[in-house]
Amino acid sequence: MPLRRRRFTYHLTLFSKMKTILPSTLALPSYNTQKYVDELYNSGIRLIHLDLMEKPFVSADWNGEHAMLLALAKYTDLKLDVHLMTNNPSDFYFQHPESIDCINVHLKHVHENKSLLQKMRRKFGKVGIVINPDEELDSINSFISEIDSVILMSVEPGKGGQTFLSKSFKRIAELRALLNTMSPHRDICITVDGGVNDMNIDRIFENGANKVVIGSFLFSEMTPSTTLRKLLS
């Protein structure tokens, strides 16, 4: 069953030692999309984080998906890390499932459908859970053995340009401790998504995150490649 309405955003990945930055192209200027994608790709980007959105998970539309898909089509060696913000994630259909590296679903959907993670793993491979700012971390306890990653939202999902929620620092450390205790022999990835910039990125990594998503800050001042180098220095 196809989704009735989708809105797309994209995050690109750059690695440096133990840090992984996923630039969010939700903030990427739509008037020169190919130029920015080329610049990010030439900076070493090979993994894209793709948000699929529909109401009520998102309150505002984003109209840049057509230009972005055309820009990304130039590169055939890009993989997708998918974040489903949809009403019925079990109905998600993707024409090229082999291009998906990991698919992430919201905690509420996992609680509502106990077989969702297994179904997604059979279809796409690696799976993860997304935790919103108002959700308890230990709500994932019974699912930790089934997941490869956790996206910890540090803003409310569905809109770019929000301010990082300061309580997220503590939540990152608590989530890392929880994962280490519940699954000490598996390296479950923590991705922090929302409001990340040069003032909080180091503390985010120090508290136990493996990856961060960066959008507005990446495209607000310098060129993306220069900002990436600054963040990773």
pLDDT of residue 110: 95
Concatenated DSSP letters for 100-166?
Answer: EEEEEEEHHHHHH-TTHHHHHHHHHSEEEEEE-TTS-GGGGGGGGGG-SEEEEESS-TT-SSPPPPT
Closest CA to 92 of 59, 58, 119: 119
Closest CA to 143 of 170, 106, 97: 106
Within a domain: residue 84? yes
pTM: 0.89
Within a domain: residue 25? yes
Q: What range does the domain containing 59 cover?
A: 7-232
Concatenated DSSP letters for 17-57?
Answer: TTEEEEEBGGGS-GGGHHHHHHHHHHTT--EEEEEEE-TTS
**Bridge partners, residue 100, by sequence:** 80
pLDDT in tens, 154-196: 999 877 789 999 999 999 999 999 999 999 999 999 999 999 9
Mind listing the pLDDT tens digit of every residue in the chain (233 residues)?
Answer: 344 444 445 556 666 556 788 887 777 777 778 888 888 889 887 877 778 888 777 666 555 666 676 777 787 787 788 888 888 898 887 777 887 889 999 999 999 998 999 999 999 999 999 999 999 999 999 999 999 999 999 999 877 789 999 999 999 999 999 999 999 999 999 999 999 999 999 999 999 999 998 888 888 767 888 888 888 87
Within a domain: residue 1? no
Within a domain: residue 116? yes
pLDDT in tens, 113-122: 989 999 999 9
Within a domain: residue 2? no
The number of distinct structural domains making up the chain is: 1
Within a domain: residue 11? yes
Sign of the dihedral defined by the CA atoms of residues 15, 172, 132, 102, in that order: positive
CATH number reported for the structural domain that contains residue 57 in this entry? 3.20.20.70
Within a domain: residue 48? yes
